[in-house]
C-alpha cells in the first residue's frame, strides 16, 4: 500500500467520515437554518460567507468535529479545481467525505492527493494529511495512478545529484520496467561512444559514466509510442560554466526523464494498447580535462555534424542522438520532454510549458486535454525562418544561436532536424519545478504535461 492509497480510502458506510459540504453563499443560508443555535452563532462569529476556496470547521454539541463547509463562491469559472485539495493539509488528521457537488470531483480528489505530497527523504515527516473517502463517481484507481506517477516525478527531481546520477536514474527506470515486465537495454562505454557520440561527449567528463537507457513494453504490433526524456542529472554548464546562482536548481535538469518515466508508469498501469518505448540519455555535464569544448565539432548518430557554440546547450545534443534512434523505428507518436531552455520561462513563466508540433489536429487534442486535466500547456511554432539562427560556418549545425532571441524555438528547431520519419512528433520544453507553492503543487519538483499526455494517449489508443 502506498502513501496515496492510505490517503484516499474506498467509499464506505461502515466507517464514520466527517462531511465536507461544498456551498455557495446562497446554499449556506439553507444550511445554516438546519444548525443548532450554537452552531449558527459560530458561523456568525467567523463571518463565514462561503467565499471561493474558504472553509469553516463546525463542531457538534460535545465539541467533536461535525462538518466542514467549503466555499464555492458564486461562479466556479476560472477557479483552480485543485483548490479543494488544500484541505488535506488544513484540516485535522481524520477521515472525510464529500457531501455535495463540486465543479470537478475527480480533479478535486486528485488535488487533495497532490497537496498531501511531501519529500521527506532527508528529514522527519511533518503532520499527517487528512484522509478522504473516494466519491462513488470518481475512479479511485485512475486518480491513484496519476497521484503516484506525480509522486514519482517529484521524488526523482527533488533528489539531489549526490544521490541521483546516471546510475541511480538507470536504477529508477529498471525498477519501473521490472514492475511491468518491460525489456531494458542500457548502452554505455565504448558502444555508447560509437553509436551515440553526442551523448558520450556530453557525459564523458564526469566520473559518473553516461549511458542511454532504453526500455520497451507492450505488443509488437500495437501503435508505436516512443517517449524521450532529457536525463542531465546535474548541469554545471561544462566549460561554459554557469554562475553559482545558475546551478542552484540544476538537480532538476533530469526533469524530462522523470516526466517520461511517470507517463510510462501511467500508460503501463492502464495497460493501454500501445507498443511503448522509453529512451533516456543519462549524463552529468561536468568539467575536467576531457570535457568537450566550445568550437569542437561532434558527429551525431544521424551523421549531422554539430559545432559547439556553447557547452551549456548540452541537452539538445543528448536528445538529438536519442531522437535519431527513436525516429529509425518510424513511431506513430514520438514525444520528447526536456528542461531545455530558460527562454521558455521568459516567454511563458514556470507554470505554462510550451510544446511544438506540426500536427495541427494533435496540437488541438493536447490543448483540450491540458484544459480538461488542469495540466497547463501552450503551443508554440516550429518557425522555420529561424533555422538560419544556428547555422555554422564549419559544420552543418551549431548547437547555440548567436542571437539572444527565440531561444526556445531555435532549440525546438534543432531537435526537429533529427526527426524525419515519425508520424507525429511533439517536443515539450518543461520547467519541472514549482517555485511558489500553489494548490496541489507544493514548492519543488513537478510533473508537467504528463497527465494531459496520458489522457490524450488513452483516448487515442485505449486499452
Mean pLDDT (10-residue bins), the chain, 463 residues: 89 85 93 93 96 96 95 84 96 96 96 96 86 96 98 98 98 98 98 98 98 98 98 98 97 98 98 98 98 98 98 98 98 98 97 98 98 98 94 96 93 98 98 97 98 97 79
375 CB contacts (<8 Å, ≥6 apart)? 369, 448, 449, 450, 451, 452
Active site residue 275: no
- Catalytic option among 40, 195, 204, 242: 242
Question: Which part of the chain has CATH 3.40.630.10?
Answer: 145-461
* Torsion over CA: 90, 96, 98, 103 (sign): positive
CA distance 238 to 241: 5
Question: How confident is the model at residue 107, as a pLDDT?
Answer: 98
Question: How confident is the model at residue 309, as a pLDDT?
Answer: 97
The grid coordinates listed for 339 are 528542461
| Span between the terminal Cα atoms of the chain, in Å | 25
Distances, alpha carbon 290 to alpha carbons 139, 232, 238, 258, in Å: 53, 18, 11, 28
How many residues make up the chain in this entry? 463
Superfamily of structural domain 145-461: Zn peptidases (3.40.630.10)
Question: How confident is the model at residue 112, as a pLDDT?
Answer: 98
Name the nearest CA neighbour of 151 among 336, 4, 303: 4
The grid coordinates listed for 107 are 480533479
Q: Could you tell me if 287 and 314 are in contact, meaning their C-beta atoms sit under 8 angstroms apart?
A: no
pTM score of the predicted model: 0.97
Could you please state the CATH topology (level 3) that the domain comprising 3-116 is classified under. Answer: 3.40.220
Alpha helix segments (H runs only) across 117-207: 140-158, 166-179, 189-195, 197-203
- Catalytic option among 67, 251, 277, 316: 316
Active site residue 181: no
Question: How confident is the model at residue 14, as a pLDDT?
Answer: 67
Amino acid at each position: 500500500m502506498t502513501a496515496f492509497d492510505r490517503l484516499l480510502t474506498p467509499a464506505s458506510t461502515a466507517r464514520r467520515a466527517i462531511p465536507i459540504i461544498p456551498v455557495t453563499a446562497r446554499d449556506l443560508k439553507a444550511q445554516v437554518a438546519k444548525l443548532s443555535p450554537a452552531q449558527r452563532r459560530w458561523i456568525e462569529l467567523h463571518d463565514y460567507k462561503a467565499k471561493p476556496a474558504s472553509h469553516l470547521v463546525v463542531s457538534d454539541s460535545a465539541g467533536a468535529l461535525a462538518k466542514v463547509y467549503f466555499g464555492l463562491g458564486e461562479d466556479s469559472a476560472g477557479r483552480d479545481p485543485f483548490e479543494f485539495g488544500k484541505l488535506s493539509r488544513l484540516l485535522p488528521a481524520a477521515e472525510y467525505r464529500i457531501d455535495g457537488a463540486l465543479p470537478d470531483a475527480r480533479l478535486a480528489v486528485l488535488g487533495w492527493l497532490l497537496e498531501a505530497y511531501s519529500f521527506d527523504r532527508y528529514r522527519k515527516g511533518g503532520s499527517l494529511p487528512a484522509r478522504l473517502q473516494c466519491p462513488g463517481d470518481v475512479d479511485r484507481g485512475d486518480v491513484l495512478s496519476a497521484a503516484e506517477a506525480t509522486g514519482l516525478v517529484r521524488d526523482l527531481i527533488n533528489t539531489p545529484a549526490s544521490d541521483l546520477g546516471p546510475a541511480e536514474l538507470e536504477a529508477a527506470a529498471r525498477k519501473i520496467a521490472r514492475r511491468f515486465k518491460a525489456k531494458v537495454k542500457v548502452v554505455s562505454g565504448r558502444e555508447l561512444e560509437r553509436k551515440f557520440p553526442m551523448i558520450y561527449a556530453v557525459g564523458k567528463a564526469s566520473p559518473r559514466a553516461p549511458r542511454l537507457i532504453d526500455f520497451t513494453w507492450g505488443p509488437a504490433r500495437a501503435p508505436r509510442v516512443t517517449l524521450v526524456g532529457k536525463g542531465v542529472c546535474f548541469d554545471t554548464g561544462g566549460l561554459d560554466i554557469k554562475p553559482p546562482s545558475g546551478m542552484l536548481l540544476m538537480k532538476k535538469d533530469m526533469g524530462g526523464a522523470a516526466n517520461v518515466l511517470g507517463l510510462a508508469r501511467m500508460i503501463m498501469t492502464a495497460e493501454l494498447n500501445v507498443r511503448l518505448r522509453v529512451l533516456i540519455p543519462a549524463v552529468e555535464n561536468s568539467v575536467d580535462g576531457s570535457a568537450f569544448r566550445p568550437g569542437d565539432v561532434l558527429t551525431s548518430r544521424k551523421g549531422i555534424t554539430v559545432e559547439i557554440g556553447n557547452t551549456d546547450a548540452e541537452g539538445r545534443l543528448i536528445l538529438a542522438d536519442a531522437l535519431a534512434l527513436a525516429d529509425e523505428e518510424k513511431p506513430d507518436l514520438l514525444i520528447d520532454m526536456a528542461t531545455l531552455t530558460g527562454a521558455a520561462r521568459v516567454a511563458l513563466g514556470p507554470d505554462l510549458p510550451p510544446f511544438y508540433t506540426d500536427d495541427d489536429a494533435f496540437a488541438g487534442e493536447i490543448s483540450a486535454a491540458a484544459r480538461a486535466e488542469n495540466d497547463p500547456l501552450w503551443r508554440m511554432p516550429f518557425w522555420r525562418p529561424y533555422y538560419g539562427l544556428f547555422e555554422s560556418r564549419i559544420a552543418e549545425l551549431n548547437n547555440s544561436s548567436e542571437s539572444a532571441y527565440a531561444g526556445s524555438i531555435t532549440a525546438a528547431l534543432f531537435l526537429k532536424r533529427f526527426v524525419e520519419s515519425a508520424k507525429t512528433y511533439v517536443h515539450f520544453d518543461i520547467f519541472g519545478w514549482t517555485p511558489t507553492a500553489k494548490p496541489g503543487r507544493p514548492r519543488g519538483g513537478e510533473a508537467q504535461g504528463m497527465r494531459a499526455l496520458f489522457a490524450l494517449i488513452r483516448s487515442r489508443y485505449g486499452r
